[in-house]
Amino acid sequence: MALNVKRPNGTQDVVPNEAYKWHTVESVVRDSAAQFGFKEIRIPTFEETGLFVRSVGDTTDVVQKEMYTVSSSGDKTYTLRPEGTAGTIRAVIENGILNEGLPQKVFYLLSCFRHEKAQKGRLREFHQFGCEMLGSASPAADAEMIALVHIIMQRLGLRNIELNLNSIGCPECRAKYREALKAYFEPHRAELCPTCQERLEKNPLRLLDCKSAEDQAIAKDAPLITDYLCEECSAHFEGLKKNLAIMGIEYTVNPRIVRGLDYYTRTVFEFISSDIGSQGTVCGGGRYDGLIETLGGKPTPALGFAMGLERILLTLESQGCEFIEEKTCDLYLASMGDKAAEKAVEIASRMREEGFFVEYDLVGRGLKAQMKYADKIKAKYVVVIGDSELESGTAKLKNMASGEQTDISLGDGLLDDFGAQYYEMMLSTDEEFRSFVESFGDGQGE
């Protein structure tokens, strides 16, 4: 009886003919982050459970319902990371990175895990690109982080992405807002879902983040946090908006945004797409000025964001955006006979050392089947090697797109002959390559 093995619910496979789409996004976010001075950090897949309880918040859905937690042989429990910020801050503190000069800027690409109902745009294993900036309290730093996301969206070619902005204040002004929320929701206690009835006592801000349609209707007329900001928080928010205006970045102030994690203070923001349904938030972030101190470090202002790569890809696909072209074989070496097969191995080795993508037969196909395979893998050129080619030292190089054939040396002149043909093909088919070459011809590349 065959073993029926399937991938776990809420996960997905990235197969080879889809991986180039991920490479497109990963390349753009890495390069953009580097231009803003961010350096990569890599952290463990799991952490002590207490790290997430202290940072994310014990009243959040993430901690109460969604974490994958296991016990070790001792008393400690460990949790697969549900998000990237907590582990990053733990690593920054533990490795003394804050002693290396401020602000510190780090980015990560990682997988996260949350046990929730799997649906389009919301998986149990998902991937995030995130950035954290540590050591600046200036609203200019908030604008800088938003500008980085903005330029990533532009470079990916995304459209219809709206920036929503809010300030949820500091602990002092938020305390007054919390009391106002409790006073507003208390008469509706019996109408709230069981989770929100508990939140009303422990963390009423979470009521604004409830996904229940009934609770959302109740919250529609709730007090606004922007009416309760202290002088400093209000000035910080105005400073952020001023910097965004200077940068030419459009935004909408949405006083209902609170984000789903407890560590946020002051600025919170979301980039929202209207093209992927209800799971439209493709990036979210904000300030968390108290988190480093909460986790045992010195009081240090900080902020960050994370974007879900699956949601970015869904949006790119829904909008018909272009991806980096999948790399295809430059040259396929078709052979007839043992001697020709050995020659194919020799040629492939030489050409791979020069950086070309070369393949040859590894499964004992006949010539006709090899030619079909070369076409299937989208090889740009094919060379057929048989006894006569070995004897003469030359073969026919076939351009698979045009059908044209030219003579090519199988000896010392091989790289020169192939290089000339490949260069000419790139000039005629690759606009970016042609523009690059023309710029040198104009003297611009000197």
SS3 assignment for 116-134: CCCECCECCEEEEEEEEEE
Binning pLDDT at 50, 70 and 90, where does residue 278 land?
low
Model pLDDT for residues 38-91, shown as the tens digit of each residue: 999 999 999 999 999 888 877 677 777 789 998 877 778 999 999 999 999 999
Which of 428, 388, 395 minimizes the C-alpha distance to 414?
395
Residue at which a domain ends, from 318, 347, 371: 318
Which of 223, 222, 232, 221 minimizes the C-alpha distance to 173?
232
Which of 309, 303, 304, 348 minimizes the C-alpha distance to 330?
348
pLDDT on residue 444: 45
Q: Is the pLDDT of residue 157 over 90?
A: yes
Residue 207 is assigned to a structural domain of this protein: no
pLDDT on residue 435: 60
Residue 176 is assigned to a structural domain of this protein: no
Binning pLDDT at 50, 70 and 90, where does residue 3 land?
low
pLDDT on residue 439: 56
User: With contact defined as beta carbons under 8 Å apart, do 284 and 272 qualify?
Assistant: no
Q: Is the pLDDT of residue 257 over 90?
A: no
What average pLDDT is seen over the chain?
90
Q: What is the pTM of this model?
A: 0.87
Residue 323 is assigned to a structural domain of this protein: no
Looking at the structure, tell me whether residues 260 and 305 fall in a common domain. Answer: yes
Looking at the structure, tell me whether residues 50 and 142 fall in a common domain. Answer: yes
CA dihedral (78, 90, 106, 304) in degrees, to 10, reads 90
Total structural domains in the chain? 2
Q: Is the pLDDT of residue 1 over 60?
A: no
| CA pair distance 311, 390, nearest whole angstrom | 53
Model pLDDT for residues 108-138, shown as the tens digit of each residue: 999 999 988 877 778 999 999 999 999 999 9
pLDDT on residue 149: 97
Residue span of the structural domain in which 76 resides: 16-170+230-318
Looking at the structure, tell me whether residues 154 and 295 fall in a common domain. Answer: yes
Name the DSSP letter for residue 57: -
Q: What is the CATH number of the domain that holds 347?
A: 3.40.50.800
Q: Is the pLDDT of residue 446 over 50?
A: no
**Beta-bridge mates of residue 69:** 79
Is the C-alpha dihedral spanning 410, 411, 417, 418 positive or negative? Answer: positive
pLDDT on residue 363: 96
The three-state secondary structure class of 188 is helix
Looking at the structure, tell me whether residues 308 and 165 fall in a common domain. Answer: yes
